[in-house]
Amino acid sequence: MRSRARTIRSSRMRGLGPSLLRLAVGTVFVAHGLSKLLPVPGGGVRGTAALFESLAFQAPYAVAMTLGWVEAAGGVALVLGAYTGWTAFALLLTTAVTSWQLHLPHGLFLNWSLEPGVGHGYEFDLLLIGALLSLLATGAGSLSVDGARQRAAELESAGRARLRR
């Protein structure tokens, strides 16, 4: 009896891990997306577009708007646990491309001293990429819209199986 209770508790805790990761990563993406969209000092659409223009991006304003919306909406979807696989994949692509274009030339580490003229490295992006890959592998976890949809589909399928008997 004790081992069965321990197994049930252990499986619930395993589902909690991806949920906690999803909430943290989703919150980070919401914050980063909103900082690209809202008029904040040093950011907003104009500041982000200027950065992309300095990197020779084509249509930097459109890229800034698209990236801001993908990050903000994707972050909300991750927090809710809705379409986690697709959302994590989209955020993975945007993070990888911006990291490659913006942070890779500056090495691994962030510019902790905030030395002028020195950009940030890709260490934070590497952490986000690892977290997104983990969510792709594990799914949304126990507290999610995806989990609720899966449980409803399983219940519906079980009900149809009973009706066939």
14-67 tens-digit pLDDT: 779 999 999 999 999 999 999 999 998 878 999 989 988 988 889 999 999 999
Instruction: Give the Cα separation of 149 and 92 in Å (integer).
Output: 24
Answer yes or no: is 3 within a domain. Answer: no
Answer yes or no: is 10 within a domain. Answer: no
- Phi and psi of 76, rounded to 5°? -65, -45
Instruction: Give the Cα separation of 100 and 119 in Å (integer).
Output: 13
- Phi and psi of 83, rounded to 5°? 55, 45
Answer yes or no: is 6 within a domain. Answer: no
Instruction: Give the Cα separation of 40 and 64 in Å (integer).
Output: 14
Helices 60-80 and 44-54, interaxial angle, to 10°? 120
What pLDDT score does 156 carry? 84
Answer yes or no: is 12 within a domain. Answer: no
Picking from 123, 154, 24, 42, the residue whose alpha carbon sits closest to that of residue 78 is 24
Structural domains counted in the chain: 1
3-class secondary-structure state, position 32? helix
Instruction: Report CA torsion sign: 24, 110, 49, 133.
Output: negative
Answer yes or no: is 8 within a domain. Answer: no
Answer yes or no: is 99 within a domain. Answer: yes
Answer yes or no: is 53 within a domain. Answer: yes
Give the domain extent around 31: 17-164
Residues in the chain: 165
Answer yes or no: is 9 within a domain. Answer: no
Residue 11 has pLDDT above 80, yes or no: no
Q: Read off the amino acid at residue 101.
A: Q
56-71 tens-digit pLDDT: 889 999 999 999 999 9
Q: Is the pTM of this model over 0.75?
A: yes
33 and 71 in contact (C-beta within 8 Å)? yes
